[in-house]
Structure 1
Amino acid sequence: MTDIDLDAVEQWIATMNWTSGATVVIRDYGVLAGILDSAVKARRIARNPARGVDNLPRKQSKSRVYLTHDQVDQLAGAAGEHRILVYVLAYCGLRWGEAIGLRVKHLDLLRRRLAVTENAVQVDNVVHVGTPKSHQSRSVPVPPFLVVELARQCEGRGRDDLVFPGPAGQHLRRPVSTTGWFTRAVEKSGIPRVTPHDLRHTAASLAVSAGVNVKALQRMLGHASAAMTLDTYADLFDSDLDAIGTALDHARSAASVGKVWAEPPAGI
C-alpha cells in the first residue's frame, strides 16, 4: 500500500478509461479512494495518494424523456393488467421498488394519500425489502382520478397484501428490458422509448407544469432537500427564467410611468 502514489493512481485511471465507461471508472476509483481513506485513518499511510487526481472521466448526463398526459394514457392502456401501476408511477413519482413494495395498509384513500415505507430492491433475481432510498418514510398525494382505480385494485386483499403483486402474491419483478411487459407496452403504445424510472421524471414534469411549488415536489419525490429537486430537474424550470425577464420588464415599465407622473409639467 505504501508503494501507491498519485502517478500510479492516475496511470491506473488512464488505463481504465480506454476499456471502461465513465460510470465504472468513477465507481472503481471511489472504492480505491475509500480503502486508502481507511488506511490513513488507521495510520497505515500518512496521506491518501488517490486524492487530487485530475483525469477522472465525466459522466455524460442523458436527456430525459417526459411524457404528456395523453402519452401516459396510451402507455397505461397498452400495459394491460399493469395499467394502474403505470398511473401510480407517472402521477405519484414513486421509484420502482417503492411502488412494488406498496401494501394495502399503506393506502389512505379517504385522505388521498399513500405512505412510502418500504423499498423492494431486486439483486440477482432476489428481492430484498428495506427502507426507501432516503431511509425516511413519506406521504405522497394521490390524484382523485386514481383513488377509485386503487380501491378496485385492492378489492379482496388483506391489509398486508401487496397492491401490485407478482406471481403467487410475491413482489413483482423488474420488467426484462427487451422482452418484458413494460417494453411491449411502450412499443404497442407508440410513445417515445422510456423506462419505468422515466415515469418518475414524468411525474415531476407534470407536477411542475401544473404549478406545484418546489417544496411540495421535493416532499412527493422524497428528495433530501428542495435544492436537490431543483438541481435534478433544473430543465423543467426554464419557463421560470422567462417569467423573471418578463417580470423585470413590467417592473421597469411601471417605474418609468411612475417617474413620468411624478415630474411636474414644464414651465411650472
Structure 2
Amino acid sequence: MSELATEKSRTVVLRALGVLAGILDVAIDDRRLANNPARHIRNLPRSGPGKRRVYLSHDQVATLAACSAYPTMVLTLAYTGLRWGEATGLRVRSVNRLRRRFVIEENAVMIAYEIHVGTPKTHEKRSVPYPERLAPMIEQACAGKGPEGLLFGDGVNHMRNSGAQGWFANAVRRAQAVDPSIPRLTPHDLRHTAASLAISSGANVKAVQRMLGHASAAMTLDTYADLFDDDLDAVASRLNDAMPLVALPAGPQTRYRQPK
C-alpha cells in the first residue's frame, strides 16, 4: 500500500485495498484463512485538501442549460443530484410522471470506452423527485419511446460525456462566454450544485441524503459541512427568540435571576 500510494491517489489505493479485503473475506468464509490481513490497517494514505467544489447559482444553471445541446440533462443533474451514470441509465419506465419522481435502479459506467450497466453505487433502489418546471421537458424526453427506452439520448444508446471535447465541455465554454463568473466544471459538479440549491432552499440533511443516495446522513454532513454553516446561525437566532429575558443586577458580580 505504501508503494502504491507513491504512484496513485488515495482513492485508488483505498479501492484496491477494498477489493483485496473483500477477496480475503471470502477466503475466511471458506476457512482458508484465519484472519484478514487487509482489514484494520494503520497508516492509511492521508487525504489531501481535495478539489474545491463548484456550486452554481440558479441563474448560472439556466445559462449553462441554454448553452447546451442537451438542456434537459443539465437541468436534471443540477436539480436532482443524480450521478452521471444514474442519469444516463434512466429508462422511460423509471419515470413516475404522476408523482414527478425518478426511480433509480441502474447505473451506466464507461470502462475502457464500453458502457457497463449495473446497480447504483449504494446497490439500493431509491426515488428522487424532480421539479414541476422540469416535467414538460421530461415528458418530451419520454415521447416516442417504449418503457425500456433510455430517457436521455436516442433511447437506445447511453449518452456519453467525451471529456474536454464533449458536449458538456463545449456547453461550459459557451456559457462562460455569456457569463464569465461560471467556473470550469464537470457533470459531477452539478451534483454538488444540486446539494447546494436544496440546502439553500431549506431542505434538511435527511432529505438531502435521500436525494443524493448517500449511505447515511453523517456522510452528507461530512461531504457538505460548509453548506450547513448558515443553519448554525439560524439555530442561534431561533434560540435567541425563544430565550426569556434575563434580569441581571448591576455591579461586578452578576447572577442569573429568573424574571418575575
State if a TM-score over 0.5 links the two structures. Answer: yes
Report how far residue 227 of structure 1 moved: 2.5
Q: 1:189 is matched with which residue: 150, 175, 178?
A: 175
Report how far residue 56 of structure 1 moved: 2.9
Taking a change above 3 Å as real, the CA distance of residues 48 and 235 of structure 1, as seen in their structure-2 partners, is same
Aligned residue in 1 for 2:122: 134
Partner AA of 2:213 in structure 1? G
Taking a change above 3 Å as real, the CA distance of residues 207 and 37 of structure 1, as seen in their structure-2 partners, is same
Secondary structure (helix, strand or coil) at the match of 1:178 reads: helix
Secondary structure (helix, strand or coil) at the match of 1:169 reads: coil
Report how far residue 31 of structure 1 moved: 5.0
Taking a change above 3 Å as real, the CA distance of residues 257 and 159 of structure 1, as seen in their structure-2 partners, is farther
Taking a change above 3 Å as real, the CA distance of residues 29 and 242 of structure 1, as seen in their structure-2 partners, is same
Report how far residue 93 of structure 1 moved: 1.3
CA-to-aligned-CA distance 1:87-137 (integer Å, 9 cap, x gap): 111111111111111112222222222221221122112212222222222
Partner AA of 1:226 in structure 2? A
Kept in 1, the 8 Å contact 2:245–2:259? The answer is: no
The answer as to 2:88 corresponding to 1:100 is yes
Aligned residue in 2 for 1:238: 229
Distance 2:192 2:246 in 1: 43
CA-to-aligned-CA distance 1:148-206 (integer Å, 9 cap, x gap): 1111222222222111125x821112x12211111111111012111111111111111
Aligned residue in 2 for 1:3: none
Report how far residue 222 of structure 1 moved: 1.9
Aligned residue in 2 for 1:172: 159
Distance 1:199 1:184 in 2: 15
TM-score by length of 2: 0.82
Q: 1:76 is matched with which residue: 65, 70, 75?
A: 65
Secondary structure (helix, strand or coil) at the match of 1:164 reads: coil
Partner AA of 1:155 in structure 2? A
Secondary structure (helix, strand or coil) at the match of 1:246 reads: helix
Report how far residue 216 of structure 1 moved: 2.1
Report how far residue 27 of structure 1 moved: 3.8
Secondary structure (helix, strand or coil) at the match of 2:188 reads: helix
Taking a change above 3 Å as real, the CA distance of residues 33 and 74 of structure 1, as seen in their structure-2 partners, is same
Partner AA of 2:101 in structure 1? R
More helix by share: 1
Taking a change above 3 Å as real, the CA distance of residues 111 and 24 of structure 1, as seen in their structure-2 partners, is closer
The answer as to 2:73 corresponding to 1:85 is yes
Kept in 1, the 8 Å contact 2:206–2:217? The answer is: yes
Aligned residue in 2 for 1:210: 201
Q: 2:246 is matched with which residue: 248, 252, 256?
A: 256
Taking a change above 3 Å as real, the CA distance of residues 36 and 204 of structure 1, as seen in their structure-2 partners, is same
Report how far residue 57 of structure 1 moved: 2.0
Partner AA of 1:205 in structure 2? S
Distance 1:133 1:120 in 2: 10
**How do 1:213-232 residues align onto structure 2 when only pairs under 5 Å count?**
213-232=204-223
Distance 1:64 1:33 in 2: 31
Partner AA of 2:193 in structure 1? T
Aligned residue in 1 for 2:179: none
CA-to-aligned-CA distance 1:214-257 (integer Å, 9 cap, x gap): 222222222223232222222110111222333344444x2416
Report how far residue 32 of structure 1 moved: 5.3
- Structure 2: where are the runs of 5+ without partners? 177-181, 249-256
Alignment coverage as a number of residue pairs = 246
Which structure has the larger Rg over C-alpha atoms?
1
Aligned residue in 2 for 1:125: 113
Secondary structure (helix, strand or coil) at the match of 2:164 reads: coil
The alignment-based identity, stated in percent, is: 54
C-alpha root-mean-square deviation of aligned residues, in Å? 2.7
Aligned residue in 1 for 2:104: 116
Partner AA of 1:75 in structure 2? L
Distance 1:25 1:70 in 2: 39
Aligned residue in 2 for 1:4: none
Distance 2:187 2:142 in 1: 22
Which has the higher mean CA deviation after the structures are superposed, 186-195 or 216-225? 216-225
- Structure 1: where are the runs of 5+ without partners? 1-11, 263-268
